Amino acid sequence: MASITAIDPSTNAFDGDCTGRIVLDQLTSRWGFLILVALRDGEHRFFELRNRIHGVSEKMLSQTLRGLTGSGLVERHVIPTVPPAVSYTLTDLGRSAAEPLAGVFDWLSDHAAEIAEHQQ
């Protein structure tokens, strides 16, 4: 693993001006994070993502999906049914991002109860 201080400053998320910071916000936005983790299972239609990720509005979901697509992490597919359906998959880049995010998700699942105790 690269040491933090050895990282090229242009891609160091500690630096406020870099691409790293923009991408950090995308990966770690609540919805971006949950979408990328959900898509690890494979293709999802828009409404499947909406149902799976409780509390996300259709507006936030489509806005976040647009951002993730624009960053090359997610691919949008139009299925030529009547009416046409839209589905989403991870790109190779998105899959490589989803791996470490899933590590965070798993940590969360294992430790949420412990943290809830601390908070009380």
How many residues sit close enough to a copy of itself to count as binding (CB under 8 A)? 63
Query: Which residues, including other chains, have CB under 8 Å from residue 101's CB and lie 6 or more apart?
Result: 27, 33, 36, 37
14 binds a copy of itself (CB under 8 A): yes
The stretch among 4-12, 57-65, 82-90 that binds a copy of itself (CB under 8 A) is 4-12
Within a 10 A sphere around the Cβ of 64, how many other Cβ atoms?
A: 23
112-to-51, 107, 119 alpha-carbon distances in Å: 22, 8, 10
The stretch among 31-39, 58-66, 79-87 that binds a copy of itself (CB under 8 A) is 31-39
60 binds a copy of itself (CB under 8 A): no
Give dist(CA 50, CA 85) in Å, integer.
14
52 binds a copy of itself (CB under 8 A): yes
Q: Tokens 């949420």 identify what position?
A: 112
Binding footprint of a copy of itself on the chain (CB under 8 A): 1-2, 4, 7-8, 10-25, 27-30, 33-34, 37-38, 40-41, 52-55, 70-73, 93, 96-97, 99-119
